[in-house]
A = this chain, B = another copy of it.
Amino acid sequence: MAISSLLLNPYTPHLPPKPPTRLHKTTKTSTCRNSLPKTTTTNPLLKDPNHQLSRKNVLQKAYPTESSALEFDVSDEKFQELVDRRCADNLRMLILDSVQKAKAGHPGMALGMAEIGYFLYRHVLRYNPRNPKWFNRDRFVLSAGHGCLLQYVCLHLAGFQSVQVEDLKRLCKLGSRTPGHPENTVTDGIEVTTGPLGQGVANAVGLALAEAHLAARFNKPDVAVVDHRTYCIMGDGCAMEGISHEAASLAAHWKLNKLTLIYDDNSNTIDGPTDLAFTEDISLRFKALGWNTITVDDTHSNMRSFKNAVKTRIGKLSKKEGTSRAHHGVFDEDDEKQMKQKVKWDNREPFYVIPMVYREMQVQADHGEELERDWYSKLYYYQSKYPQEAVEFKSLLYDGMLPGWENSLPTWSTSDPLDATRGYSEKCLNQLAKVLPGLIGGSADLASSNKVYLHKYGDFQQPASPGGRNIRYGVREHAMAGISNGIALHGGGLIPFAATFLVKTGPTHQPIEHLVGLRAIPRLLLFRPADGNETSGAYKVAVANRDVPSVIALSRQKVAAHVEGTSADAVARGGYIVSDNSVPNLPEIILIGTGSELCLCEGSASVLRKEGRRVRVVSLVCWRLFDRQPVEYKEKVLPPGVSRRVSVEAGSPIGWREYVGPEGVVLGVEEFGASGAYLDTFKKFGFTEENVTRVAKRLLSQ
């Protein structure tokens, strides 16, 4: 049943060699990182006679046979191995106690991977628990997020304040710092929120991309200010999901060789043995993508670090070990008892930690603290030798925005030539690129259609521009989104953008459900700008609100006009009056539009006004921002007394009733769209000035 784990590394050995780039150099430096960090054996703590004694006692008691042959010397590898083994025992007991206390959670994977988790936090990852956000730390992503208990226990033992024993006891409880899947906004030490399988792999690729990009831009032959690694644990489920495949393909293409994927092949899924549905040769598949793959029961010298973890068995120690029944849920009393017996846990209190274990983990924490100090020294050196680069690098580290950045956004007047809003967007993006040195992104093979190319900044990871700021995602929308999240979460001032046709997020080419689907996502800001100025305004708000994602829905076709009365600044309020010929707040009718349909409202308003009607036109460019305005403002824009309202938007009508009121008319689309020239299809679905006027007149006559 149990198969060995794999360690995967994008390497592309079968491709012809390329001319060496800066990135290749950093590889060589970092290859040594797979062996034990040298400092671990020189840490004074390890040489402390008291700690030595306590290790000796622990081992003699736990493994009398194995330890009888030991030297008990800090330089003895077998000594360290046995120490590691006992630490992993303790880790398993904490996992067991947590899940029994919570009566919830997924112990199977956590128990199976205990050695690997321990090993990563004890010997591999570079971090400083006293400053979890230290920029040059290694990043770790648990893509199989349901195994988060493993990470919580590691974080606890490693000394992160965010996970105390009290937190372990509240596993999966509402409001705890140990939710059922790891959340980076809740728990320091968690880099990204995971759970939906496979997405963590894309996030990890984004983190590694950010490192590679910044390293290429800022490192110098004599000093590497950006130099860390990314590790990701991927389960069977992650490996089956298409997004992990897309992301792995890109990682290899970009030669992100400081990214390590650890594949936990425990042969079980929820429904039974993995081979019910998964019989690939996964090692060969990753090789085909260009990865260097290593099976850890190999004796590969770089991998000796993982030698205690050659096999994983889901639910290790339990009677359910090796079966899908161990995937989630608590253990019965008998099982719990025999699990504790197996590791000679005697009658220890739940959540007991052998003091030796804390001290062992302390070694790696001390090491991380030392590395952070070293890094600051490097920064000082860098600053003195490369002052100009240091200014940009440090500005990126802080927030990555040059003062007055928002003034760079273009403005348009009604006499400027007309364009599609994707064209206005191109100008905005290219202006922003100059004042936001962290702006980086691309499209899923639609850069030329989406017009998102940053013309002066080259392609990321091309030989001529390893630090390029345009990312070529190929036709891989899902991975693009996951990688963008990884870039955003890396820190270092990077501001990712990603572009595709909005229809590409749906199952057909003629969908009408996107806008409302996006509006329903909490916090996300969806903009549908009507012209150049609103496009500028949308970018301004999006960049200023980097803590939430923004979607700017742009037009493919030229807009019919620059709408007089639109305003970049007003976009921040989400909705505003574009034009009105009534005495204040006494229009007979309000026409509400978004995007390319705002023009239709304006056109129709002109007709109606010529016939003596008092008409207001409102742009509702971002619902969520409008909803957040004070009632007084909202009632100024949409006065409760004006019940004749028409909304015009080429999408699902769902949700518009909130703005048009019970007597208003929603002009939307309830059927699939249609293939055809856009003016023909707009006519078919009633998106013409004439139809808006007709509907408005019908309302006015009531």
Residues of A within 8 A of B (CB): 12, 14-15, 104, 145, 172-176, 179-181, 183, 193, 195-199, 236-238, 240-246, 249-250, 252-253, 269-271, 274, 276-285, 287-290, 443, 445-449, 459, 472-479, 481, 503-504, 506-509, 511-513, 516-517, 519-523, 652, 654-655, 657-658, 661-662, 670-672, 674-677, 680-681, 684
A509/B475 in contact, CB under 8 A? no
Give bound CA distance, A625 to B251, whole Å. Answer: 46
B174/A680 in contact, CB under 8 A? yes
A621 to chain B, nearest CB (A): 17
Report chain B residues within 8 Å CB of A523: 671-672
Give bound CA distance, A107 to B43, whole Å. Answer: 67
Give bound CA distance, A245 to B478, whole Å. Answer: 13
* A280 and B270 contact, Cβ closer than 8 Å, known pairs A517-B520, A654-B519: no
B236/A253 in contact, CB under 8 A? no
Can you report 8 residue pairs joining A to B where beta carbons are below 8 Å apart?
A174-B680, A181-B675, A249-B280, A253-B278, A269-B445, A271-B445, A284-B287, A655-B657
A418 to chain B, nearest CB (A): 20
A680/B196 in contact, CB under 8 A? no
A236/B475 in contact, CB under 8 A? yes
B475/A197 in contact, CB under 8 A? yes
A644 to chain B, nearest CB (A): 14
Give bound CA distance, A507 to B241, whole Å. Answer: 13
* A280 and B288 contact, Cβ closer than 8 Å, known pairs A662-B661, A662-B662: yes
Give bound CA distance, A478 to B15, whole Å. Answer: 31
B522/A472 in contact, CB under 8 A? no
A592 to chain B, nearest CB (A): 15
B675/A174 in contact, CB under 8 A? yes
B285/A288 in contact, CB under 8 A? yes
Report chain B residues within 8 Å CB of A246: 240-242, 245
Give bound CA distance, A198 to B475, whole Å. Answer: 9
A316 to chain B, nearest CB (A): 21
Having A237-B445, A240-B474, one finds 5 other A-B pairs with CB under 8 Å, namely: A176-B676, A180-B675, A196-B509, A242-B242, A242-B478
Report chain B residues within 8 Å CB of A473: 277
Q: Which residue of B lies closest to A170 (CB)?
A: B676
* A290 and B284 contact, Cβ closer than 8 Å, known pairs A181-B509, A196-B507: no
* A671 and B522 contact, Cβ closer than 8 Å, known pairs A173-B676, A271-B447, A445-B237: yes
A426 to chain B, nearest CB (A): 14
A445/B277 in contact, CB under 8 A? yes
Give bound CA distance, A110 to B244, whole Å. Answer: 31
Q: Which residue of B lies closest to A199 (CB)?
A: B507
Report chain B residues within 8 Å CB of A244: 242
A241's partner among B15, B242, B277, B680 (CB-CB below 8 A) is: B242
Q: Which residue of B lies closest to A517 (CB)?
A: B517
A287 to chain B, nearest CB (A): 7
B277/A472 in contact, CB under 8 A? yes
Give bound CA distance, A176 to B198, whole Å. Answer: 41
Q: Which residue of B lies closest to A513 (CB)?
A: B520
Q: Which residue of B lies closest to A180 (CB)?
A: B675
A253/B279 in contact, CB under 8 A? yes
Report chain B residues within 8 Å CB of A658: 654, 657
Report chain B residues within 8 Å CB of A657: 655, 657-658
A175/B661 in contact, CB under 8 A? no
Report chain B residues within 8 Å CB of A174: 674-677, 680-681, 684
A271's partner among B276, B443, B654, B671 (CB-CB below 8 A) is: B443
Give bound CA distance, A522 to B654, whole Å. Answer: 11
| Listed residue (A176, A284, A289, A675) with the most chain B CB atoms within 10 angstroms of its CB | A675
Give bound CA distance, A443 to B237, whole Å. Answer: 13
A172/B280 in contact, CB under 8 A? no
Report chain B residues within 8 Å CB of A516: 516-517, 520, 654-655
Give bound CA distance, A459 to B145, whole Å. Answer: 29
Give bound CA distance, A598 to B442, whole Å. Answer: 46
A11 to chain B, nearest CB (A): 13
| Listed residue (A179, A512, A658) with the most chain B CB atoms within 10 angstroms of its CB | A658
Report chain B residues within 8 Å CB of A176: 675-676
B511/A172 in contact, CB under 8 A? no
Report chain B residues within 8 Å CB of A481: 507
Q: Which residue of B lies closest to A678 (CB)?
A: B174
A277's partner among B181, B449, B474 (CB-CB below 8 A) is: B474
A25 to chain B, nearest CB (A): 21
Report chain B residues within 8 Å CB of A479: 242
Q: Which residue of B lies closest to A507 (CB)?
A: B196
| Listed residue (A274, A475, A662) with the most chain B CB atoms within 10 angstroms of its CB | A475
Give bound CA distance, A680 to B179, whole Å. Answer: 13
Q: Which residue of B lies closest to A278 (CB)?
A: B474
Report chain B residues within 8 Å CB of A197: 475
A196/B504 in contact, CB under 8 A? yes
Give bound CA distance, A648 to B478, whole Å. Answer: 33
Q: Which residue of B lies closest to A181 (CB)?
A: B509
State the 5 A-B residue pairs at the shortest beta-carbon distance, nearest first.
Answer: A242-B242, A174-B676, A277-B474, A179-B675, A513-B520
